[in-house]
Amino acid sequence: MAAALRPAILRHLRIPAQAQSLTMDRSAPILSSLVNRIRSMSSHGDEHLTHEEVVDRVLDVVKCFPKVDPSKVTPHVHFQKDLGLDSLDTVEIVIALEEEFKLEIPDMEADKIDSCPLAIEYISNHPMAV
């Protein structure tokens, strides 16, 4: 029961990082800028990718795939049904996406990614996508 609830809760849980830094701004602007500077130098990026950025970069990767007609690529395409690729091409695209976002996707999860919406959802929900 708890195991089933966990993904549902995690999906809706968001930590209000933006709101916190705004309140900090009002009370102590110097501290806030210091904190921001330290964070920008840290290797653990607190800055997460925005959804638009993920969409742009995923579409760029798909468009650069040699067998794909770039004019057909939209955020809603299915690799095999809409772009006329086969299953091995899909595997290659997923590996290209892993390299683009510096991810290590487990095999069984990577196997499920077969369309742009799924890829965009997976990457934008991934905490370590760069």
Partner 1 sequence: MSITGAAGYLGRRAAQKERVRILYRTALKDALNWAVHRHLFYQDASELREKFEANRHVEDLDAIDRLIDDTEAHFRNFQHPDPYIVPWAPGGSKFTRNPPPPEGIEIVYDYGKEE
Closest CB 64 distance from partner 1, rounded Å: 14
The region, left, alpha or beta by phi > 0 then psi within -120 to 50, assigned to residue 84 is left
Q: What residue ranges bind partner 1 (CB under 8 A)?
A: 34-35, 38, 42-44, 87-88, 90-92, 94-95, 102-104, 107-108, 110-111, 128
Nearest to partner 1 of 17, 74 (CB atom): 17
Whose Cβ is closer to partner 1: residue 75's or residue 80's?
A: 80
CB of 66 to partner 1, least distance (A): 11
Closest approach, Cβ 76 to partner 1, in A, equals 23
Alpha carbons 71 and 50: distance in angstroms, whole number:
24
In angstroms, what CA-CA distances link 28 with 4, 33, 36, 39? Answer: 42, 9, 12, 17
| Residue 86 annotated in active site | yes
Q: What separation, in Å, do the N-terminal and C-terminal C-alpha atoms of the chain show?
A: 33
Positions annotated as catalytic residues are 86
